[in-house]
């Protein structure tokens, strides 16, 4: 199953280390085969929706990787022009900008856009 979380993952990527660390300290072990962070990186995708600030974006990018993030705006709460201006300026390789801005969504949602 694949799940899409908006707003750069609702702060979950910022707590991934802590979640794993605390889960390891539980007195009762859960029957999970992987760490929580591994499930997040394999089964979740994030959108930028409403989060157009470099620091949290690059933290989420570092935790999840460029293949797990998609550009989105969160209309009507945010506007396309400033969101697009931020996305065009933020530090990314051309390949990652294309992934995040286009091809990740095409692949995930199986869109016939080529």
Element (H, E) at 113: none
Phi/psi for 6 (5° steps) reads -85, 180
Tell me the percentage of the chain whose pLDDT exceeds 70. Answer: 99
Of 74, 94, 96, 112, which residue is the catalytic one?
74
Q: Model's pTM, two decimal places? A: 0.91
Active site (annotated) includes residue 112: no
Tokens of 79: 């506007």
Quickly tell me which residue has 């935790």 as its tokens.
63
Q: How far apart are CA 97 and CA 87, in angstroms?
A: 8
Report whether pLDDT(114) > 80: no
């Amino acid at each position: 199953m694949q799940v899409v979380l908006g707003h750069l993952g609702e702060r979950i990527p910022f707590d991934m280390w802590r979640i794993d660390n605390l889960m390891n300290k539980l007195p009762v072990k859960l029957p999970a085969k992987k760490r929580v962070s591994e499930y997040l990186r394999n089964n979740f995708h994030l959108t930028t929706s409403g989060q157009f600030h470099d620091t949290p974006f690059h933290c989420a990018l570092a935790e999840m990787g460029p293949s797990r993030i998609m550009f989105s705006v969160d209309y009507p709460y945010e506007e396309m022009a400033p969101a697009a201006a931020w996305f065009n300026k933020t530090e990314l390789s051309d390949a990652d900008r294309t992934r995040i801005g286009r091809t990740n969504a095409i692949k995930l949602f199986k869109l016939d856009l080529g």
